[in-house]
Structure 1
Amino acid sequence: MKLRIKIIGVLAAATAAGALVASIVTTTAVAGGNGLTFTMVRSAAAEGANCLRDARATVRVYPQRFNEVMTIRAYGLPPRTNFDLFILQVPNAPFGVSWYQSDLRSDSRGRATVRVIGRFNIETFAVAPGSTHAPDTHPTIDATSNPAFAPIHTYHVGFWFNTPAEATAAGCPGATTPFNGDHTAGVQAMSTRNFPDLAGPLSQLGS
């Protein structure tokens, strides 16, 4: 009986250690060779609805002379589904300053890959020195002027279902959000919410 208890204790300790290591892996961006690698997890909306249970994604950022190349490889997504990729101030609602980067689409096996060139490091930011007029591309939806704000750094990554219908088909909530080109996207699918709000993974890559 004592031997059995000891074995159970060792197994429990090993399981706890494994869980801790897994937690560290998913919340740490690994820099190497002047690049950066980190993971994304399913969004708060997806977790709350218990959808996208198999979704996972790896992001790699490689510096170039004047910018960075960011490659996202996602797996376990619903097949043949469209998504919209953003750089974010914070990974969860209300998201803050958010910048549209690219579309991506899963294949028949639920895999999606996209490669984006831009500024994806500790210098990634948005700024509005003053308020002025803005294009009214989508009347009644678009703002016609901007608020002034000091530089705000945007270190998080997230992508949304392109439509509410695609979200509900995957078992996720059917809310409409502004996160696509005509502001009729579905809910967020995946994000870097496995990192702290004020320490998104892009902050770990120097200029």
Structure 2
Amino acid sequence: MSTYRLRHSFLARIFVLAMLVSLATGSISLLRVQTTEASSGHFKPPRPDFAFNMVPSSPNINGCLPHASGFVTITRGSQNDLMHVSVRGLVPNTGYDLFVIQVPNKPFGVAWYQSDLETDRYGNGSVFVQGIFNSETFTITNEAPLAFTHQFHLGLWFNDPQVPFDQGCEPGQTSPTITPFNGEQHAGIQVLNTANFPDNAGPLSHVNP
């Protein structure tokens, strides 16, 4: 190979290497810019408009799940709301069912099935639900006596009735209590609710549309 061709090949390799270094440096710089922007708050999600706790539904739940708790945030949107429900201290690797309800305790009144929620191996879990979750949340029918009914509370039920029974959450019972609060109408007892708010002024009533 001639000296000219050797020199040309060498220079070509140097040029390609320089381009690769330049691209890599540019990518690293871009990554740094994005990281800096994220850390400076440019990509922070909207701040929730209202936040509240869910509490154990009964002394029996306090006894069998002493660390059970829930935390809810609601963020208003232009057309609907985003609700985030997170739970702690529940039975691990277990399914639950989330409802918007008229009153937090029995007989619960009008209830609206919102979402499933699954806990991890630590008994923690969370779910996002999108809909109308504010002071205008209601059910309507043309049939009396249910003409117009607000639902301002939340309730969370065990999906499998056997789970709370096996956990000792139903002392004195000889068999699991079965409730209609899942898609098959064969759920367990309620584990968390919003009885920390008055029956007629549940947390959703504090969220302006």
What TM-score results when the alignment is normalised by the length of structure 1? 0.73
> Which residue matches 2:117?
104
After TM superposition, list the pairs within 5 Å mapping 1:43-192 onto structure 2: 43-44=57-58, 46-47=60-61, 50-130=63-143, 148-173=145-170, 174-192=176-194
Q: Tell me which moved more, 184-193 or 170-179.
A: 170-179
Asked whether the equivalents of residues 45 and 188 of structure 1 are also in contact (C-alpha less than 8 Å), the reply is no
> Which letter maps to 1:42?
P
Larger Rg: 2
The amino acid of 1:199's aligned partner reads: A
SS in 1 for 2:52: strand
Q: CA deviation at 1:148?
A: 4.9
Measured in 2, the distance between the counterparts of 1:171 and 1:72 equals 25
The residue aligned with 1:26 is none
Superposed CA RMSD in Å reads: 1.7
Provide the C-alpha distance between the structure 2 equivalents of 1:56 and 1:179, rounded to a whole number of angstroms. 19
* Deviant stretches of 4+, over 6 Å: none
Q: Is the 8 A contact 2:141 2:148 kept in 1?
A: yes
Residue 167 of structure 1 and its aligned partner are, at CA, apart by 1.4
Work out which structure has the larger RCO, using CA pairs closer than 8 Å and 6 or more positions apart in sequence. Answer: 1
Higher helix share: 2
**What residue ranges of structure 1 are gaps of 5+ in the alignment?**
1-31, 131-146
2:147 aligns to what SS in structure 1? strand
Match of 2:56 in 1: 42
Q: CA deviation at 1:44?
A: 2.2
**Contact 1:44-1:92 within 8 A present in 2 as well:** no
Whole-angstrom distance in 1 between the partners of 2:60 and 2:68: 10
Is the CA contact 1:46–1:189 (under 8 Å) kept in the aligned structure 2? no
Q: Displacement of 1:150 after TM fit? A: 1.5
Change (3 A) 1:108 1:203: same
Name stretches of at least 5 consecutive residues in structure 2 with no aligned partner: 1-45, 171-175
